[in-house]
């Protein structure tokens, strides 16, 4: 199984928090792409569905030292032993060792919500209501035929736009190719981000940009210490953000070293990604 995984794909994402402006386009693009149901009143944030959720984080300091950043959080598609997969009673969620994608089978989910309890990222959402796509507001016309809408009483989550992978593979098959190109399979959030803060690709492929970006000294993962091995990486030059992405005991957190290198190479000037 392990060998198969190494030779297969391991799709992942790198989100550059220094580039993220918090505009929320990723959330909207994700919801539109994946037929995410809405509610007439979306103010109940404990029960609304946002596969890609944008958190606003702050360094907690008073003016004028206040700094704010936005933190997009899709499903982390944890590797090897995702907390949600082994607990599912009906095998409705599975880690695909060929792609690294943690899938969700809506028609098999019984809605016990054990996976939600096990996920530390709050990345899983339960359908507390029937799907709602009001015709009067034209939302029904946006429904994608590639993604099945979910019924009431099941859990759903980010699938790394799995249907786009299927589409790319079909295209490659039609063109008699065995592999898909890097730009053929990109998630809706990565495609929509106006700041190009989200990069998507195969972490196992050394030629893909993501596999290079994750080697950057500023790369980190959310709650890495838990051992969930997320396939979503973040980049940030700001230590307080990196510190806020995990739990640390006093003295445990070590700021990124090589400050000169950082200042020289990691700026907002064009071409900074070619470190």
Partner 1 sequence: MDSPLIPEGVKRCSPKVFFFWTLPWLGLLLWGGLAAILCLWKGLNQTNMSNIFAFALWIVFDLGLIALGAGAFFTGFLTYIIGKKELKNIINAAVIIGFICYSGAVAMLGIDIGQPLRGWFIFWHANIHSMLVEVSFCITCYLGVLAVEFIPIILANRKLQEVKEFRLFGHNLHEIMAVFAATGTFLSFFHQGSLGGMFGVMYARPFAAREGFYIWPWTFFLFILSAIAVGPCFTILCTKLTEAISRKKLVPDNAVQLLAKISAWLLSAYMILKIADTLAWIYGIVPQEGLTFMDFFKQGPYGVWMVVVEIIICGILPAIILMIPNARKQTGWLITASLLACVGIILNRFMFIIVTLAIPVMPFTRFWSYLPTWQEWGLSLAIVGYGILLFSLAYRYLPVFPKELELNPNLETRTA
In the complex, the residues that contact partner 1 under the rule CB under 8 A are 44, 46-47, 55, 57, 71, 83, 86-92, 108-114, 116-122, 124-130, 151-155, 222-223, 225-228, 244-249, 252
Decide whether 39 or 137 has the Cβ nearer to partner 1: 39
CB of 236 to partner 1, least distance (A): 13
CB of 142 to partner 1, least distance (A): 23
| Residue 147: CA count within 13 A, CB half-sphere | 26
Decide whether 179 or 252 has the Cβ nearer to partner 1: 252
Give me the phi and psi of 209, to 5 degrees please.
-65, -35
Q: How many angstroms separate the CA atoms of 128 and 151, rounded? A: 9
Decide whether 66 or 122 has the Cβ nearer to partner 1: 122
Decide whether 23 or 226 has the Cβ nearer to partner 1: 226
CB of 196 to partner 1, least distance (A): 24
- Tokens read off for 167: 């589409």
Closest Cα to residue 231, out of 156, 144, 123, 127? 123
Give me the phi and psi of 234, to 5 degrees please.
-125, 155
- Tokens read off for 222: 């959310």
- Tokens read off for 239: 């230590």
Q: How many angstroms separate the CA atoms of 218 and 239, rounded? A: 9
Q: How many angstroms separate the CA atoms of 190 and 195, rounded? A: 10
In 3-state terms the chain splits into helix, strand, coil percentages (rounded to 5) of 25, 15, 60
| Edge-to-edge strand ranges of the sheet holding 11-16 | 198-202, 11-16, 232-235, 219-221
- Tokens read off for 199: 């990069």
Q: Which run of H or E residues covers position 170?
A: helix 162-174
CB of 127 to partner 1, least distance (A): 7
Residues 114-149 as b or e (16 or more Cβ within 10 Å = b): ebbeebebebbbbbeeeeebeeeeeeeeeeeeebeb
CB of 198 to partner 1, least distance (A): 19
CB of 86 to partner 1, least distance (A): 4
Decide whether 145 or 250 has the Cβ nearer to partner 1: 250
Decide whether 22 or 273 has the Cβ nearer to partner 1: 22
Decide whether 47 or 137 has the Cβ nearer to partner 1: 47
CB of 254 to partner 1, least distance (A): 13
């Amino acid at each position: 199984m392990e060998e198969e995984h190494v030779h297969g794909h391991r799709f992942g994402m790198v989100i550059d928090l220094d580039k993220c402006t918090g505009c929320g386009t990723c959330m909207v693009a994700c919801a539109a792409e994946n037929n995410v149901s809405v509610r007439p009143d979306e103010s109940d944030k404990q029960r609304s569905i946002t596969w890609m959720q944008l958190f606003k984080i702050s360094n907690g300091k008073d003016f004028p030292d206040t700094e704010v950043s936005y933190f997009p959080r899709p499903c982390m598609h944890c590797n090897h032993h995702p907390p949600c997969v082994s607990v599912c009673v009906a095998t409705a969620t599975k880690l695909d060792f060929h792609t690294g994608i943690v899938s969700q089978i809506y028609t098999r989910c019984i809605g016990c919500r054990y996976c939600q309890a096990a996920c530390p990222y709050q990345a899983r959402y339960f359908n507390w209501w029937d799907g709602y796509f009001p015709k009067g507001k034209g939302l029904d016309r946006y429904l994608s035929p590639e993604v099945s809408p979910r019924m009431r009483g099941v859990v759903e989550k980010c699938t790394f736009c799995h249907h786009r992978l299927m589409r790319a593979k079909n295209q490659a098959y039609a063109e008699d190719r065995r592999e898909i190109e890097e730009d053929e399979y990109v998630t809706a959030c990565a495609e929509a981000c106006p700041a190009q803060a989200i990069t998507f690709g195969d972490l196992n492929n050394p030629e893909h940009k993501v596999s290079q970006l994750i080697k950057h000294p500023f790369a980190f993962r959310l709650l890495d210490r838990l051992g969930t091995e997320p396939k979503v990486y973040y980049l940030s030059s700001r230590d307080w953000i990196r510190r806020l992405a995990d739990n640390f005991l006093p003295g445990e957190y070590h700021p990124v070293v090589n400050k000169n290198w950082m200042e020289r190479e990691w700026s907002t000037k064009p071409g900074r990604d070619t470190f």
